[in-house]
Amino acid sequence: PAEVPEPPMDPALAAAYAALEENDLDGAAQAFRNVLAADPGDSEAKLALAQVELMLSTRDVDADQVRADAVAKPDDVRAQIAAAEIDLAQGFVEPAIDRLVGFVARSAGADRDAARVKLLDFFELLGPDDPRTAIGRQALTRVLF
Protein backbone atom coordinates (compact mmCIF):
# COMPACT_ATOMS: atom_id res chain seq x y z
CA PRO A 1 0.00 0.00 0.00
CA ALA A 2 1.19 3.46 -0.89
CA GLU A 3 1.79 5.86 1.95
CA VAL A 4 -0.45 8.87 2.03
CA PRO A 5 1.70 11.96 2.54
CA GLU A 6 0.79 14.17 5.47
CA PRO A 7 -0.69 17.48 4.47
CA PRO A 8 1.80 20.33 4.74
CA MET A 9 1.75 22.20 8.03
CA ASP A 10 0.07 25.59 8.10
CA PRO A 11 2.90 28.13 7.59
CA ALA A 12 1.74 30.17 10.60
CA LEU A 13 1.81 27.07 12.80
CA ALA A 14 5.23 26.15 11.39
CA ALA A 15 6.48 29.65 12.28
CA ALA A 16 5.20 29.22 15.83
CA TYR A 17 7.03 25.93 16.23
CA ALA A 18 10.17 27.42 14.68
CA ALA A 19 10.10 30.22 17.27
CA LEU A 20 9.67 27.62 20.00
CA GLU A 21 12.64 25.63 18.66
CA GLU A 22 14.71 28.83 18.86
CA ASN A 23 13.59 29.22 22.50
CA ASP A 24 11.79 32.44 21.55
CA LEU A 25 8.88 31.92 23.93
CA ASP A 26 7.41 35.39 23.40
CA GLY A 27 7.57 34.98 19.63
CA ALA A 28 6.09 31.49 19.82
CA ALA A 29 3.23 32.67 22.02
CA GLN A 30 2.42 35.48 19.61
CA ALA A 31 2.65 33.15 16.62
CA PHE A 32 0.26 30.65 18.25
CA ARG A 33 -2.10 33.55 19.07
CA ASN A 34 -1.97 34.55 15.39
CA VAL A 35 -2.91 31.00 14.38
CA LEU A 36 -5.84 31.09 16.81
CA ALA A 37 -6.95 34.50 15.55
CA ALA A 38 -7.26 32.98 12.07
CA ASP A 39 -8.71 29.67 13.32
CA PRO A 40 -10.09 29.83 16.89
CA GLY A 41 -10.88 26.11 16.78
CA ASP A 42 -7.30 24.97 16.14
CA SER A 43 -6.86 22.55 19.05
CA GLU A 44 -3.15 22.01 18.35
CA ALA A 45 -2.47 25.76 18.57
CA LYS A 46 -4.61 26.07 21.73
CA LEU A 47 -2.67 23.32 23.46
CA ALA A 48 0.70 24.64 22.30
CA LEU A 49 -0.16 28.19 23.41
CA ALA A 50 -1.18 26.94 26.85
CA GLN A 51 2.13 25.09 27.15
CA VAL A 52 4.13 28.13 26.04
CA GLU A 53 2.22 30.38 28.45
CA LEU A 54 3.08 27.99 31.29
CA MET A 55 6.75 28.16 30.31
CA LEU A 56 6.54 31.97 30.15
CA SER A 57 4.91 32.21 33.56
CA THR A 58 7.65 30.15 35.18
CA ARG A 59 10.80 31.14 33.28
CA ASP A 60 11.97 33.92 35.63
CA VAL A 61 11.03 32.12 38.82
CA ASP A 62 13.49 30.62 41.31
CA ALA A 63 12.20 27.04 41.17
CA ASP A 64 14.08 25.94 44.28
CA GLN A 65 12.63 28.83 46.29
CA VAL A 66 9.10 28.13 45.04
CA ARG A 67 9.41 24.48 46.02
CA ALA A 68 10.87 25.43 49.42
CA ASP A 69 7.93 27.78 49.99
CA ALA A 70 5.52 24.95 49.16
CA VAL A 71 7.23 22.66 51.69
CA ALA A 72 7.17 25.42 54.34
CA LYS A 73 3.52 26.28 53.62
CA PRO A 74 1.71 22.99 52.96
CA ASP A 75 -1.71 24.61 53.54
CA ASP A 76 -1.12 27.62 51.25
CA VAL A 77 -2.93 26.98 47.97
CA ARG A 78 -0.92 29.63 46.09
CA ALA A 79 2.37 28.06 47.19
CA GLN A 80 1.18 24.59 46.17
CA ILE A 81 -0.10 25.74 42.78
CA ALA A 82 3.12 27.69 42.10
CA ALA A 83 5.24 24.64 42.89
CA ALA A 84 3.02 22.39 40.77
CA GLU A 85 3.30 24.81 37.84
CA ILE A 86 7.10 24.77 38.16
CA ASP A 87 7.08 20.98 38.28
CA LEU A 88 4.84 20.73 35.23
CA ALA A 89 6.85 23.30 33.25
CA GLN A 90 10.05 21.38 34.02
CA GLY A 91 8.53 18.07 32.94
CA PHE A 92 7.83 16.65 36.40
CA VAL A 93 4.22 15.89 35.54
CA GLU A 94 3.42 13.20 38.11
CA PRO A 95 4.79 15.21 41.08
CA ALA A 96 2.79 18.24 39.92
CA ILE A 97 -0.42 16.22 39.80
CA ASP A 98 0.33 14.42 43.07
CA ARG A 99 1.01 17.72 44.85
CA LEU A 100 -2.36 19.17 43.89
CA VAL A 101 -4.34 15.95 44.40
CA GLY A 102 -2.83 15.78 47.89
CA PHE A 103 -3.79 19.39 48.54
CA VAL A 104 -7.36 18.78 47.35
CA ALA A 105 -7.56 15.77 49.69
CA ARG A 106 -6.57 17.78 52.77
CA SER A 107 -8.24 21.13 52.08
CA ALA A 108 -11.72 22.60 51.77
CA GLY A 109 -13.63 25.52 50.36
CA ALA A 110 -12.17 28.00 47.89
CA ASP A 111 -8.60 26.70 48.32
CA ARG A 112 -9.70 23.17 47.48
CA ASP A 113 -11.62 24.42 44.47
CA ALA A 114 -8.65 26.48 43.23
CA ALA A 115 -6.39 23.41 43.34
CA ARG A 116 -9.07 21.29 41.65
CA VAL A 117 -9.48 23.84 38.84
CA LYS A 118 -5.70 24.03 38.36
CA LEU A 119 -5.60 20.24 38.08
CA LEU A 120 -8.27 20.37 35.39
CA ASP A 121 -6.13 22.95 33.56
CA PHE A 122 -3.16 20.57 33.79
CA PHE A 123 -5.24 17.70 32.39
CA GLU A 124 -6.35 19.89 29.49
CA LEU A 125 -2.73 20.88 28.89
CA LEU A 126 -1.60 17.25 28.86
CA GLY A 127 -4.46 16.26 26.59
CA PRO A 128 -6.88 13.35 26.76
CA ASP A 129 -4.48 10.88 25.16
CA ASP A 130 -1.78 11.31 27.81
CA PRO A 131 -2.10 8.37 30.24
CA ARG A 132 -1.18 10.70 33.12
CA THR A 133 -4.43 12.58 32.47
CA ALA A 134 -6.53 9.47 33.11
CA ILE A 135 -4.48 8.48 36.16
CA GLY A 136 -4.67 12.02 37.56
CA ARG A 137 -8.41 12.28 36.94
CA GLN A 138 -8.96 8.98 38.75
CA ALA A 139 -6.88 10.16 41.71
CA LEU A 140 -8.77 13.46 41.82
CA THR A 141 -12.12 11.67 41.69
CA ARG A 142 -11.08 9.42 44.60
CA VAL A 143 -10.27 12.38 46.85
CA LEU A 144 -13.35 14.36 45.84
CA PHE A 145 -15.93 11.63 46.40
Q: Which CATH number fits domain 63-144: 3.90.550, 1.25.40, 3.90.175, 1.10.287?
A: 1.25.40
Q: How far apart are CA 46 and CA 36, in angstroms?
A: 7
pLDDT of 33 over the 80 cut: yes
Q: Which of 80, 30, 25 is nearest to 55 (CA)?
A: 25
Would you call 64 helix, strand, or coil by DSSP? helix
pLDDT of 80 over the 80 cut: yes
Model pTM score: 0.80
Please give the mean pLDDT across all residues of the chain. 93
Our measurement of the distance from residue 35's CA atom to the centroid of its chain's CA atoms, rounded to an integer in Å, reads 19
Q: Enumerate the CATH 1.25.40 domain ranges in the chain, comma separated.
A: 63-144
pLDDT of 82 over the 90 cut: yes
Question: According to the model, what pLDDT value does residue 1 have?
Answer: 66
